[in-house]
Structures are given as C-alpha cells and as structure tokens.
Structure 1
C-alpha cells in the first residue's frame, strides 16, 4: 500500500519538530517521493548526519510503504 505525502511530513515533524518539510510525489504512484527538509536541528551536522536524522524518522516505512525517497536537507537561511 502506498504512503501518503502527509504521513511522511507528519513522521518527519514528529522527530524533528521545527522542520519545514516539502514533499513531491515523483511518479504519481505514492511510492517515489522527493523531500526537502529545512531545520535548525541540522546546524553543525554533516549532510550524512542530517539525512540519518530524517531516515530515522521514517525507518519503519522505508522499504515497505515508502519505496524511495530523494532527500535534500539544509539549515534555515539567515
């Protein structure tokens, strides 16, 4: 069963409360998404560490309901 974009956003925000999350369904099938996540939580962390935080929020769904996620992370612009 495909995953809803709103559910992805909710899971990310549950683990990273200050996150600004933008989700795009890449294929229109509910299985392939692109996410942009902006959070102060990422400040001082490497790109790998930032992605790990997001993937941790989605760990139960990745490979199951959520097949693929292209991810971009950053800190808020000053």
Structure 2
C-alpha cells in the first residue's frame, strides 16, 4: 500500500463494518484523515457523493494530488461502497 501524502491518513478501516455509509460518515472520515480540514459532503443514494473539502494541507498541491489525499482518507471504501465521489478541493484562501 502506498503511503498517503501530506499527513492524509486512512480512517475508514477504523469504522465498524455495520456503519452506515452516508454523507455524514464520509465527512467524518475526510475530516479525521486530514487534520484541520472542513468537508461539505452531499449524496442521497448512499453510493454517489460530491464533496467540497477545504484544507491548508492542499496548499502548493496540484488538483490530482489533492484528490489523492482525500481518497486516502477513505481507504478501500473508494471504488467499493463509494461508487463515485466528485471533489472540489481548495485551500482556505481559495475558499474565501
């Protein structure tokens, strides 16, 4: 397994198997995995989600690297339980 870049850490494995996957759960995983991040996650069907993630850790990173940081927080749920995740990743300055 590749090391997650810039302090992003997978926390999805720490959730009990019976944990319902919804927008709040995904928000929690992202915010736990990227310390200091704020995530706004939406999705009503339980498999397709969209998220805006604001994190200082994104500073100086290209969009692909930012997305990989978010994916790393979700671990094996990406491509499995989470069928699709549309991302907008910005620094606090870019969000202002």
Higher helix fraction (1 or 2) = 2
Q: Aligned residue for 2:52?
A: 36
Question: What's the C-alpha RMSD, in Å, of the aligned pairs?
Answer: 1.7
- In structure 2, runs of 5+ residues without a counterpart are 1-17
List alignment gaps of at least 5 residues for structure 1: none
Give the SS at the match of 1:6.
helix
2:40 maps to 1:22 = yes
Q: 2:13 maps to which residue?
A: none
Q: Which of 36, 54, 66 is the equivalent residue of 2:70?
A: 54
- Write the distance in 2 (CA, Å) between the matches of 1:17 and 1:53: 11
How many residue pairs get aligned? The number is 76
Identify the residue that residue 66 of structure 1 maps to in structure 2. 82
TM-score, normalised via structure 1 length: 0.87
1:12 equivalent in alignment to 2:35: no
TM-score normalised according to structure 2 size: 0.72
Displacement of 1:59 in angstroms is 2.1
